Amino acid sequence: MRILYHLPLSPQSRQVRLVLGEKRLPYEPMTERVWERRTEFLAMNPAGDVPLLVEENGLTIPNAGVICEYLEEAYPDTPLMGRTLAERAEVRRLMAWFNEKFAQEVSRNLLGEKVDKRLSGRGNPDGNALRAGYANIRFHLDYIGWLAETRAWLAGGMLSMADFAAAAHLSCLDFIGDIDWSKAPAVKDWYARVKSRPCFRALLNDRVTGFTPPDHYADLDF
């Protein structure tokens, strides 16, 4: 059986779970407490982070972006990266946008401080980081809203990995109550469409000890 080492509130792990689900590729999720730096895990992935995909044939692939490229090449039946060169460049641009820029400017400051620190016992959130995260998320929600208003899906005419990258980050932030949907109606409409896909169900059932998601988190009509 295919194995995905992951953490429930890791956006990059969630992106891969969504892509596996959308492509109907079964897998066994294994929670990896990366801060314990388990020797067997480091031997499989020297970078020491999740997600890490291990295929039944033993092929071991780290990094959400690398895994997504692999899944698209290995299982092209449900294409999620666009067709033309221009479409593919736009999907990849937005994947990089969310997994590099959004991750650094928002997720690291909010999820990193509130979730990762608590789970790994590294103390309390840093106030400056939280303030930076809340300031940055406004700009990013505006940008996502603009994409959602001017296109059918974030990268253009078709559902793509860009939508899953964005929704993965937002779903984690929603879990800790850090998204004010009333201020971003276009983002909310787009997110409701992604959230209602079958591949999203497993994410909405995630529970993490010590954290209680808001009531609307798993509600499809939030």
Q: Binding of a copy of itself at residue 152 (CB under 8 A)?
A: no
Q: Which stretch binds a copy of itself (CB under 8 A): 86-94, 172-180, 191-199, 202-210?
A: 86-94
| One residue of 30, 78, 83, 100 binding a copy of itself per CB under 8 A | 100
In the region spanning residues 162 to 201, those forming contacts with a copy of itself, defined by CB under 8 A, are none
Task: Write out the two tokens for 187.
Answer: 């983002």
Minimum distance from CB of 73 to a copy of itself (Å)? 6
Q: Using the rule CB under 8 A, is 25 a contact of a copy of itself?
A: no
Pick one of 6, 17, 92, 195: the residue that binds a copy of itself (CB under 8 A): 92
Q: Is 97 in the site for a copy of itself (CB under 8 A)?
A: yes
Q: Is 54 in the site for a copy of itself (CB under 8 A)?
A: no
Contact between 65 and a copy of itself (CB under 8 A)?
yes
If one asks whether residue 59 binds a copy of itself (CB under 8 A), the answer comes out as: yes
Q: Tell me which of 61, 154, 173, 184 binds a copy of itself, using CB under 8 A.
A: 61
Indicate the residue among 63 and 109 with the shorter CB distance to a copy of itself: 63
Pick the binder of a copy of itself from 30, 74, 152, 220 (CB under 8 A): 74
Contacts of 115 (CB under 8 A, 6+ apart): 9, 172, 176, 208, 211
**Cβ count within 10 A of residue 177:** 14
Told to check if 30 binds a copy of itself by CB under 8 A, we report: no
Residues that bind a copy of itself (CB under 8 A): 46-47, 59, 61-63, 65-66, 69-70, 73-74, 85-86, 88-89, 92-93, 96-97, 100-101, 143
